[in-house]
Amino acid sequence: MPKKTATQKTFEPAEASTRLKARLARMFDLEAEIERLDKILRWPHYEGSQKSPGVKYELQTATMNLREVRGQLSYAKQTLENERQRGERHMNSELRPEFKKAEDDFQAKTQEFERAERQVARLKEKHDALRTELDAAKAELAELKKGCGVEEALSFQQSLAEAKERLPELKGLVEEQEWLIREAKATIPSAEQLLERREDILAGLSTGDATEGQLNAIGKEIEALNSQIAAASAKASEIIAKAEPTLSGLRRKLADTERELEKLTLQKPDVARLILKSQAALVYSDYVKLGEQLGEKFVQMMSLNALICSVPERRHVDHSILLSAFQMKIPRFKVGLDAEAPSMSTVFSAVEQRIDLAREEEKARLKAEGITLLD
């Protein structure tokens, strides 16, 4: 086997699995954060004990109120100016009640306008901050959803397979420890029947149906059985003392594995989409290059067709080699490409304009080969 150089990258399942788990966890958190921010921005919600209609609605309402107050302020200002001009013709005009009322109204509206301006500024700042945060979260989520590498997908598959294999194994180990505890308890003899017989003999003594000899005999049997119970209990306790904590640990491992398997099963479609999007991005890069080549050939064919049609014809015969309508459309795809990669939206954006130029280029190419029939 050839030796790997220091620059060669090897498949590290644990590292790839850690990266993918971190990516999926971040995607989950971002989706929750986007939902939260969108709710605050656009929908009624509670902030503490107070209900908010949404920052966007609050800002719109405050802006409309500001416009209304601005109009009222303008009217109050004009009213004050009118009262001032009217009072110029009278002595002590500023003492007139109409002027005083107009002045008070103007000052009140000025203060109300300033409050409305501050409210709009505060809400706009809050709205813009939330929008910036929301856009950043959406951009990060879109970046994470572009795709994952083959190594990450393989590590996820491995984790999923291991969890599936580990689950029945752990269930079997749990059942084994439960069986050991049951069997250990079952080995302890029961003195219940002997104790019932002793009770019957004691009752017989009181009625004259039993003897002291019977009582002594049953007592010896009980004593012997108690010795057996003590020995069996000691042995069973030793087994149970080890099995019970083992069982507790296995049950925790089983619960953890069940949760892990459930989480991985829910994440499986996400990972499938990620790897498919990564593959689509790789294919799309070639797709765009081939699209560009096809576009160039299309322009060349259309320029040749235009030249064919430009040759004088006396019999009004259509010599066009174009069989279908003049149309060049190649589907675009929404995949994660590098910023510098061309998109299909630019490949054929100027095809019609390029045909006229290409026609002249084609004439020049043919002329360079000695063909001057098109002059």
40 token code pair: 């605050």
Q: What is the pLDDT of residues 180-234, one digit of tens each?
A: 998 888 887 777 777 787 787 788 778 777 778 887 887 888 888 778 877 888 8
User: In angstroms, what CA-CA distances link 81 with 68, 75, 87, 97, 103?
Assistant: 20, 10, 10, 14, 9
Structure tokens at 294: 């096809």
pLDDT single digits (tens) 307-361 = 888 887 777 777 788 777 666 667 777 765 443 344 444 445 545 566 667 777 7
* pTM score of the predicted model: 0.49
pLDDT confidence bin for 1, thresholds 50/70/90: very low
Residue spans per domain, the chain: 13-145, 151-267, 287-368
Whether 333 and 147 have beta carbons less than 8 Å apart is answered as no
- In this predicted structure, the answer to whether residue 2 has a pLDDT above a threshold of 60 is no
- Mean pLDDT value across residues 158-167: 89
Closest of 149, 93, 128 to residue 279, by C-alpha: 149
- When pLDDT is cut at 50, 70 and 90, the band that residue 7 belongs to is very low
Residues 253-289 have pLDDT tens digits of 999 999 989 988 888 888 888 778 777 777 777 887 7
Flag whether pLDDT at 46 surpasses 60: no
237 pLDDT higher than 50: yes
Residue 173: is its pLDDT beyond 50? yes
